Structures are given as C-alpha cells and as structure tokens.
C-alpha cells in the first residue's frame, strides 16, 4: 500500500463496456520519480476503460500544467500540457513489449497507472522549454536576455587560418 494505490484501477468486478476514472496529479506525485524533469504541476487525468472479454483498452486524456525551467532565461514558468493516448491491456504471460500494449497475468485484478501517467506527462512536454509569448512579447526575464546579448556581442570571430595549399581552391567557384 502507499501513494501508488491512488492510481490503481480495479477491473475484475467491472462489467463489459466503458468505465471512467479521474485522477489528480499534484506536486507530491512527482516526488516519487527520481531525476525527474518535473517537480511541480497540477494535471487532471481522465481515464476511460473499455472492458472486453479478451482485452482492456485504456483511453487517457490529460490537461494541466507543469513547472519547467526556461532554456533561455533560466527562470521557472508554467507550461500548459495536453495529452491524449490509448493503450491495450491484454491477458497472458508474454514478455513481448510494445508502446501500445501491456501484458498482465490472467489472475490480475487491477492495474497501476502511476508510471504510465508520469511517462505520458513527460512525453507531452515540448522539447524546447521557453516562456510562452504573452500578447506578442516574450515572457522571459528581460534582464537576462540583455546579459545574453552582451555576451554574444563580445564573442569574437576566430581568424580563419587557411592552408596555402587550399587557397587556390577558395576562388574556384568565382571563375
């Protein structure tokens, strides 16, 4: 028992058909994942379970925000996230792994979604972490952007050292 049981879905006693579950993901959730990209967030997760005799299909729908560090100005900001996906749960003793299929033993009566929810949250984060634009202006710290411009201007272009043997080829396209 523990924090993970909040994200369990008991499916053994459910009738065939659609069943809905709702989960709240808050800051405490992210504390349980080491070296995580996210430490703060507020996400609502809706899971629709479609139970059939030979398989279960899970539909995930997530919406909320996570706190990230801006790659440009290094300040924290809230990144809105949305994610939709589906996953099959099949019964059997199969070691075959797939991104869209999870295998469980026939005697299982529940499935824990904590790891899946975390992975889907991470997948929904854009690769480039920058403040979203606000009415055409950047949300980044303007002082930090000014400092970056100063360092860019100070960067001197290295002198190009040309091997004299290749100097003749340099003008080859100009002829």
Determine the pLDDT at residue 47. 94
Residue numbers in the chain where pLDDT is lower than 70: 1, 95, 136, 154-162, 171, 174-175
Rounded percentage of the chain residues whose pLDDT exceeds 70: 87
Instruction: Find where tokens 């920058």 sit.
Output: 130
Quote the CA–CA distance of 75 and 129 in Å, as a whole number.
Answer: 10
Determine the pLDDT at residue 14. 85
- pLDDT tens digit string along 65-108? 999 998 888 889 999 999 999 999 888 877 677 778 888 888 88
DSSP per position, 44-108? EEEEEEEE-SSEEEEEEEEEEEEEEE-TTT--EEEEEEEEEEEEEEEES------SSEEEE-TT-
Determine the pLDDT at residue 160. 66
Structure tokens at 83: 């994610």
Determine the pLDDT at residue 33. 86
Number of Cβ atoms within 10 Å of the Cβ of 130: 16
pTM higher than 0.85: no
Determine the pLDDT at residue 26. 92
């Amino acid at each position: 028992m523990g924090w993970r049981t909040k994200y369990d879905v008991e499916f053994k006693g459910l009738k065939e058909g659609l069943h809905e579950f709702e989960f709240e993901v808050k800051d405490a959730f992210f504390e349980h994942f080491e070296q995580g990209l996210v430490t703060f967030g507020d996400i609502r997760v809706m899971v629709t379970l479609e139970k059939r005799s030979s398989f279960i299909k899970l539909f995930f729908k997530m919406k909320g925000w996570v706190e990230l560090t801006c790659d440009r100005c290094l300040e924290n900001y809230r990144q809105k996230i949305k994610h939709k996906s589906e996953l099959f749960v099949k019964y059997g003793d199969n070691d075959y792994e797939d991104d869209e299929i999870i295998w469980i033993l026939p005697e299982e009566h529940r499935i824990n979604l904590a790891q899946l929810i975390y992975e889907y949250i991470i997948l929904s984060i854009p690769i480039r972490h920058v403040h979203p634009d606000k009415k055409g202006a950047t949300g980044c710290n303007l002082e930090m952007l000014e400092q970056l411009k100063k360092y860019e201007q100070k960067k001197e272009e290295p002198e190009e050292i040309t091997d004299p043997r290749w100097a003749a080829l340099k003008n080859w396209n100009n002829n």
